[in-house]
């Protein structure tokens, strides 16, 4: 890897101390002269041509936002370094950077693909497409009543139910909102899609696991209610009564650099299953 870029979330490193430290360590280890630095807030407008490795400094939110913003021509792997809170999607913690650079030099790593979702939204002749690495969530507004959802899979109706919403998730997103709503963990190397209801008011809707190339269409009966489509918990659009929403596997995927000793189950235990003290109010 001859050319690396560093994408930094400025809100996580306001004085640039972490950024400067990471740049210095990369230069000392690999003798890099020029290291391109990008803001995660404006990554879609940056020229990433020639980048062999994109180092992302931030948390899960930073990595999610960058993954959605990268154009189809970008084909380099991402090395996520967590300087945020959870960091489930990151390859390493910032405290492990020295060890990580040693492994990078020794080529003790692998490149894995993580599937993404494509959401096509059509309403009154208008067309919009959204990408998602974790999930696409269709849910009612805060003060509105339950919404009636009708779900089709590959042109065949799956079910109709009333509830607060539903979550369509990738394996990467199975540990996020989908998990909170009762969805299953899905091993990240698989290409599957899960649909999980949010507070269903009937027993006709259960979580279902679908093949990765399934096409999911959702019709929401909410003429007098407010409904939003949100991708990765970050970008939301208001959905009106005539809106058609189709969710399918994205033609592009995200490449992540993981080191040979990466242990998914260890990360799952430490970041999700055993990460309960803060939620229980024992730590602040």
Active centre residues (catalytic): 60
Is 60 one of the annotated binding-site residues?
yes
Encoded tokens for 21? 């430290």
256 bridge partner residues:
78, 112
Is 196 one of the annotated binding-site residues?
no
Is 162 one of the annotated binding-site residues?
yes
Contact 100, 91 (CB under 8 A): yes
Is 214 one of the annotated binding-site residues?
no
Is 141 one of the annotated binding-site residues?
no
Is 177 one of the annotated binding-site residues?
yes
Is 73 one of the annotated binding-site residues?
no
CA distance 104 to 90: 15
CB neighbourhood size of 230 (10 A): 19
Is 240 one of the annotated binding-site residues?
no
Encoded tokens for 34? 């020029």
Is 180 one of the annotated binding-site residues?
yes
Is 150 one of the annotated binding-site residues?
no
| Among the listed residues 14, 71, 17, 72, the one whose alpha carbon sits nearest the alpha carbon of residue 39 | 14
Question: Which letter, b or e, does each residue of 110-127 get, where b requires 16 or more Cβ atoms within 10 Å of its Cβ?
Answer: eeeebbbbbbebebeeee
Is 260 one of the annotated binding-site residues?
no
| Among the listed residues 219, 224, 253, the one whose alpha carbon sits nearest the alpha carbon of residue 122 | 219
Angle between the N-to-C axes of helices 97-105 and 17-30, in degrees from 0 to 180, rounded to the nearest 10: 30
Which residues are part of a known binding site for NAD(+)? Answer: 60-61, 134-135, 145, 162, 164, 172, 175-180, 234
Which residues are part of a known binding site? Answer: 60-61, 134-135, 145, 162, 164, 172, 175-180, 234
């Amino acid at each position: 890897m001859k050319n690396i870029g560093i994408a930094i979330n400025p809100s996580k490193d306001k004085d640039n101390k972490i950024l400067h430290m990471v740049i210095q360590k990369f230069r000392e280890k690999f003798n890099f002269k020029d290291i391109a630095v990008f803001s995660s807030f404006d990554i879609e407008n940056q020229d990433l041509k020639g980048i062999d490795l994109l180092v992302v400094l931030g948390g899960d939110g930073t990595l999610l936002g960058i993954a959605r913003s990268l154009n189809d021509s970008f084909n380099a792997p991402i090395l996520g370094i967590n300087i945020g809170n959870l960091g489930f999607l990151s390859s390493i913690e910032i405290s492990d950077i020295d060890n990580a650079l040693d492994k990078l030099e020794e080529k003790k790593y692998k490149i894995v693909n993580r599937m993404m979702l494509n959401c096509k939204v059509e309403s009154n002749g208008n067309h919009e497409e959204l990408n998602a690495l974790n999930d696409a969530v269709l849910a009612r507004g805060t003060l509105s009543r339950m919404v009636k959802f009708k779900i089709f899979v590959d042109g065949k109706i799956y079910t109709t139910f009333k509830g607060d919403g539903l979550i369509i998730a990738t394996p990467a997103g199975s540990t996020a909102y989908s998990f909170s709503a009762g969805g299953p963990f899905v091993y990240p190397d698989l290409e599957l899609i899960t649909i999980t209801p949010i507070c269903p008011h009937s027993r006709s809707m259960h979580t279902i696991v679908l093949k990765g190339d399934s096409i999911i269409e959702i019709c929401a009966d909410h003429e007098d209610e407010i409904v939003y489509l949100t991708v990765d918990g970050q970008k939301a659009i208001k959905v009106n009564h005539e809106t058609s929403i189709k969710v399918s596997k994205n033609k592009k995927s995200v490449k992540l650099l993981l080191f040979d000793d990466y242990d998914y189950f260890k990360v799952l235990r430490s970041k999700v299953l055993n990460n309960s003290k803060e939620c229980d109010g024992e730590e602040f």
